[in-house]
Amino acid sequence: MDGIGEGSNGYGGDDALDRLLDEAGLNRSVAEIRALVEGVNAAPRGTDPDAWLGLFDRQRLTDPLRLQLKALRDELARAADAKDAPDHAARLAALRAELSRRGLAGFVVPRSDEHQGEYVPARADRLAWISGFTGSAGLAIVMLDQAAIFVDGRYTLQVQAEVSASQFQYKHLTDDPHAEWAASVLPQGGRLGYDPWLHTVGWVERMRSVLARTGADLQACPDNPIDAVWPDQPPTPLAPVVPHDLRYAGKPASEKLGDVAASLRSEGQAAVVLTQPDSIAWLLNIRGADVPHTPLPLSFAIVDDEGKADLFIDRRKLVPGLDEHLGNRVSIRDPGELGAALDALGADPAVKVRVDPATSAAWIFDRLLLAKAKVERGADPTALPKARKNEVELEGTRAAHLRDAVAVARFLAWLSRTAPDGNLGEIEAAARLKELRREGDLFRDLSFETISGAGPNGAIVHYRVSEKTERRLAPGSLYLIDSGAQYLDGTTDITRTVAVGVPTAEMREHFTLVLKGHIALATARFPRGTTGSQLDCLARMALWQKGLDYDHGTGHGVGTYLSVHEGPQRISKVANTVALEPGMIVSNEPGYYRTGAYGIRIENLIAVRECPDLPEAERPMLSFETLTLAPIDLALVEPALLSPSEIAWLNAYHAWVRDSLSGRLDSETEQWLLVATDSITS
């Protein structure tokens, strides 16, 4: 573990720590410090293992106290890591005993937390604890006599590698819906338990409707039965919550709160309940580190129609001075007070309260309805403003992509020298790229776990490399690397597919078809009001002409030093009513995957912008600005398959990359870049 023992001779004991706290004038007990440090250890360690010390008044933090705090953290981390290998059969047996005690026939275990986010803290990773599955999406249903785990096509191989077939049946989320399966195995009158904190109200309504057809019942549990049988469940994470500087945010929190208030007044609503931590982080210009790779402070908020907010967050993770940053419009309240605050919203039957049904836990709705509040279902009022980046955010994103491009160019040049000998592995390659990114200014973390897939592993869309699955980059194969970084001024996400040695004609053809789709989307012009689902076919058309396709979406929204997967906009076959608007950032990532052979994906981030260069346009038009700067492997391009305009785009893109990075690279990488961005002809 990073940082263990660094700068310390070991923990001197509670008495010594108590003395040092007293000498520093810090009015905290050792028990409080231990609880704080356990919460710190429950959060990702991050690239700066000492960032958590910012939770203390640094002027009072003496060197001996600092070293002992670090030593205590290391000691507690070692104790937490010293666990026996998980016995999932025993865990299942314990859960079933608890379900039987509660009179439940089964229980639903989603991969989610109270905020319905993509990343969950260790405390909330109940699906992994009960089953061993570590993917980012999935759900299990544990019955008293059987169990099943449901995943989508991204994880069909991973689930088989991580979850015992003797304990769980493998099911596909789409082909074998979990609601239908549960209805088929529940006995007449059987009660299926669920945690209302971990599901949206829409899920509850759909699930209850399906079960009702068979005489079964969906039962909300007052507490999670897994928590009752998880003896060493990690505590709530306590990573530092810090201000996000206005030079990166571009707009003060007071103005954002005013905009939310105006949105509420326009709908005749008195308040909105915000449950998404990225919404709260954006709204209040704060950032945290409670979950991996996304700078989120886990919290809830209620904003009223006057622009005042109650922030429900553990005060222990607020760095000194954050109160001043938040200002007098924001009241900090304990998370345990959220229920009472929701009850208070029901005191006046004329008061309307907005809650987003797509992202809010069913518990929120249940509590409000129990309090007789007038609940109105509506979109999170921060979602669209957050997606429409202001000029400061866009400039920061451009700067972040330029710094990221330096790291990616250095990596690709290194890869060209290292991979051909066949000794380079997926893990080492991913580590090298992370190391190069860490050298860049304002770097804070990766934006997601790098997908580093050689040969057949590249065909697994959300492949996660491990020592068990790692492959070498063999000559004659393709290598796919999908990666990104979090910088204070922007978030990046890029995929490049590289030929190791000489590619086959088939590889070149498929790569070029993907490239044609990428170019078609990058160069699209479209009228205001167009949605991403209307543009999705542009990226697929060349593949479709050959009877080929890919199963994932073409583009997802991206935040600015926030989530790398941000809504509400997207580019996908799945219908979406959210129009693309200037300032939105989305990915452009068509692909092709030949199972057991190779995967191909070309991903750049693009920003929606006005399209002023159409003087004869009869209506307002939009286009895309490409943000990502990195060579596209020319060894995989078949020029004969490209039109003159597509060749012109590729040459212009490479010229832009070359000119932008000129003078920012070492001489060896500069020479590589000149070749990698050379012009091609038909």
CA distance 195 to 190: 17
Q: What is the pLDDT of residue 174?
A: 85
The pLDDT confidence band at residue 58, using thresholds 50, 70 and 90, is confident
- Average pLDDT of the chain is 95
Cβ contacts of 545 within 8 Å, gap of 6 or more: none
Residue 468 DSSP class: T
Average pLDDT over residues 576-589: 97
**β-bridge partners, 557:** 566, 586
- Give the least confident one: 48-57, 151-160, 659-668: 151-160
pLDDT band at 157 (very low <50, low <70, confident <90, very high): confident
Q: What is the largest CA-CA distance in the chain?
A: 79
Q: What is the C-alpha separation between 507 and 237, in angstroms, rounded?
A: 45
The helix/strand/coil state of 252 is: coil
pLDDT in tens, 532-545: 999 999 999 999 99
Tokens representing 545? 């002409």
Per the rule left: phi > 0, alpha: psi between -120 and 50, beta: everything else, 46 is left
Cis check for the bond before 568: say yes or no (omega within 30 of 0). yes
Q: What is d(CA 184, CA 214) in angstroms, rounded to the nearest whole number?
A: 8
Token representation of residue 663: 């003078």
Percentage of the chain modeled with pLDDT above 70: 99
Beta bridge partners of 301: 274, 311
Q: What is the pLDDT of residue 461?
A: 87
pTM over 0.85: yes
Question: At 419, is the pLDDT very low, low, confident or very high (cuts 50, 70, 90)?
Answer: very high
pLDDT tens digits, residue range 475-488? Answer: 999 999 999 999 99
Say whether pLDDT at 584 is over 60: yes
Q: What is the CA radius of gyration of the chain?
A: 26
| 461 contact partners, CB below 8 Å, separation of at least 6 | 153, 154, 551, 552, 591, 593, 599
DSSP state, residue 95: H
**pLDDT above 90: residue 389:** yes
Separation of alpha carbons 291 and 239, rounded Å: 9
Asked if residues 510 and 612 have their Cβ atoms less than 8 Å apart, the reply is no
Phi and psi at 626, nearest 5°, equal -75, 135
pLDDT of 23:
94
pLDDT at position 154 is: 74
Task: Quick: pLDDT tens for 503-520.
Answer: 999 999 999 999 999 999
Alpha-carbon gap, residue 240 to 77, rounded angstroms: 18
Alpha carbon of 287 to those of 116, 488, 535: distances in Å?
A: 18, 10, 33
What would the DSSP string read from start to end of 274-314?
Answer: E--HHHHHHHHTEE--SBTTB-----EEEEETTS-EEEE--
CA distance 72 to 78: 10
8 Å CB contact between 442 and 562: no
pLDDT single digits (tens) 77-126: 998 887 788 999 999 999 999 999 999 999 999 999 999 988 899 999 99
What pLDDT does 135 receive? Answer: 86
pLDDT for the residue numbered 5: 38
> Which residues partner with 606 through β-bridges?
586, 626
Cβ neighbour number for residue 328 with a 10 Å cutoff? 9
pLDDT of residue 49: 86
In three-state secondary structure terms, 144 is: coil
Q: How far is CA 471 from the centre of its chain?
A: 26
Instruction: Compute CA distances 146 → 89, 175, 338, 422, whole Å.
Output: 12, 19, 37, 45
pLDDT higher than 50, residue 280: yes
For the chain, what percent of residues have pLDDT higher than 90? 89
The residues pairing with 273 across neighbouring beta strands, listed in sequence order, are 302, 355
Q: What is the pLDDT of residue 572?
A: 96
pLDDT at 453 over 50: yes
Q: Which band of pLDDT confidence, cut at 50, 70 and 90, is reported for residue 53?
A: very high
What's the CA gap between 579 and 585, in Å, rounded?
A: 13
Q: Residue 458, Cβ neighbours under 10 Å: how many?
A: 29
Structure tokens at 573: 């076959």
Q: Which amino acid is at 236?
A: T
* Among 200, 297, 204, 178, residue whose Cα is nearest residue 244: 297
Closest CA to 495 of 518, 521, 522: 518
Question: Taking a C-beta distance cutoff of 8 angstroms, is the pair 123, 234 a contact?
Answer: yes
